[in-house]
Amino acid sequence: MKIKRVLELLNAEMILEAGDPDVEIQAACSSDLMSDLLCFAAKPGSVLITGLINPQVVRTAEIAELKAIIFVLKKRPDKDTIALAKAKGIPLIVTPLSRFTSCGRLYVEGLESCTEEAK
Amino acid sequence: MNLGDVVQKLSLEVRTSKGDLSREVTGCYISDLLSDVMAHAQEGEVWITLQTHPNIAAVAVLRNLAGIIISNDRSPEADTLKKAEEEGIPIAVSAESTFDVGGKLYQLLKC
Amino acid sequence: MSGKKVREGSFHLVGGDFTKAGVASSELKSILSGLGIDMKLVRRAAIATFEAEMNVIIHATAGMMHYAVSDEQIRVVIDDMGPGIPDIDLAMQEGYSTAPDWVREMGWGAGIGLPNMKKNSDEFKVDSVVGEGTTVEIIIKIKEGKAGEPG
């Protein structure tokens, strides 16, 4: 699905446009722990659903090659984090929904978990 | 739906030897940040997390949660299980990712 | 060093400085990509060095990240002035963490940093002296024509 569909499903707002607006989103990671995101190879076209809003989320997303970060419960990162995401080309999305509802809606819509099968 | 039903339908492995699996599950909260769970989790919800240290048992008691599901096949520490058993909080483990467990539970609870 | 030298350099790491956390690894990732190294290897190097960098920032007072790239391998050595690791085998167990609670609230301290480093390296070594510091060595082999598999 495209990012636009993700925004619709999660009643979400794009607070930073970056990267390719037509990127195909196929999978989602949901975690507040950064080492966990680095533990498993993320499928291409993966987004992150998280409640953590510090700059390391952006750095971890860059290293894990994630396509967008979705912050839940209307949590907004500060301007330094937004500037970092802009520099790295990672779009930022804010949803009023919880991590549970966000995962649920995307799961029902057919997104897969971002972790690769072979570990 | 009670916790026992959730365990069975999601193929979870219960690791605590004590705890009330007949407790009704009112919903679900997913977070790995304790301060976040303290602020937002509601009584009776089941909590999905990657955290395995003993503080999770304390938080679950304080928020009167139905139980804890640890995802990604992580193992709760021995001290965590001990504390959870003392407090009557069931802890179960799923081999699946947080996204998958959360997604399946969302469908189960017909949200 | 194994192979013909292509590029080397260092980064300073400041303990406790979470604002700069990940900067060194991110720059190293750019350098490695710029050298035309296979992206799978660059990714593994980035993950391993990021974890090592975070360990210095979380636990140590200060550290240095030295990298040396040849046509045969990427070698990164991260050494710090910090508390050291009393039991390395224990520290290598997934889930074992000595990180304080406030670090967990920042998204770190899950106890999988060292295992993650090893998983993404072809050769991995940890040396430590309690009260002085820790040195981590990460080597990723560059194979001609195809990506190396993780060790």
Here the CATH number for the domain that contains residue B90 is 3.40.1390.20
Q: pLDDT value at position A115? A: 81
- Are the beta carbons of A28 and A49 closer than 8 angstroms? yes
Preferred mutation among B99, B105, B109, B110 to probe A, highest tally of A CBs within 10 A: B99
- Residue A54 in any domain: the answer is yes
- Residue A71 in any domain: the answer is yes
Please tell me the distance in Å from C105's CA to the nearest CA on chain B. 5
pLDDT score of A41 more than 70: no
C64 pairs with which residues across the strands? C12, C79
**What percentage of chain B reaches a pLDDT higher than 70?**
99
Q: Give the pLDDT band of residue C151 (cuts 50, 70, 90).
A: very low
pLDDT score of C120 more than 90: yes
Q: pLDDT value at position C150? A: 54
| Burial grade of C151 (CB within 10 A; 0-12, 13-18, 19 or more) | middle
Domain that holds residue A50: 3-113
CATH class belonging to C5-141 = alpha beta
Residue type, A19: G
Torsions phi, psi for C48 (to 5 deg): -60, -45
Q: pLDDT value at position C144? A: 57
- Residue A95 in any domain: the answer is yes
- Are the beta carbons of B94 and B67 closer than 8 angstroms? no
Q: What is the CATH number of the domain that holds A71?
A: 3.40.1390.20
| End-to-end CA gap in chain C | 19
Q: Does C31 touch chain B (CB under 8 A)?
A: no
- C95 vs B contacts (CB less than 8 Å): 52, 74-75, 77
**Tokens 């396509």, located at residue:** A67
Mean pLDDT of B72-92: 94
Mean pLDDT of C70-78: 96
- Residue A72 in any domain: the answer is yes
**What percentage of chain C reaches a pLDDT higher than 90?**
68
Residue type, B9: K
Please tell me the distance in Å from C59's CA to the nearest CA on chain B. 19
- Residue A27 in any domain: the answer is yes
**Tokens 């060790």, located at residue:** C151
Q: pLDDT value at position A118? A: 41
Of A32, A52, A59, the CB nearest to C22: A59
The rounded distance, in Å, linking the Cα atoms of C137 and C118 is 10
The rounded distance, in Å, linking the Cα atoms of C52 and B49 is 24
Q: Per the structure, how many domains does chain B have?
A: 1
- Residue A90 in any domain: the answer is yes
What does the pLDDT look like over C80-112, one tens digit per residue? 999 999 999 999 988 788 888 888 888 888 888
Q: Per the structure, how many domains does chain A have?
A: 1
The rounded distance, in Å, linking the Cα atoms of A76 and B49 is 22
The rounded distance, in Å, linking the Cα atoms of A93 and A84 is 14
Alpha helices, DSSP H, located in C13-144:
23-34, 39-59, 88-91, 101-104, 113-119
- Residue A119 in any domain: the answer is no
Mean pLDDT of A1-22: 95
Domain that holds residue B67: 3-108
- Are the beta carbons of A33 and C108 closer than 8 angstroms? yes
Average pLDDT, chain A: 92
Mean pLDDT of C10-33: 93
Identify the three-state secondary structure at position A70.
strand
pLDDT score of C49 more than 90: yes
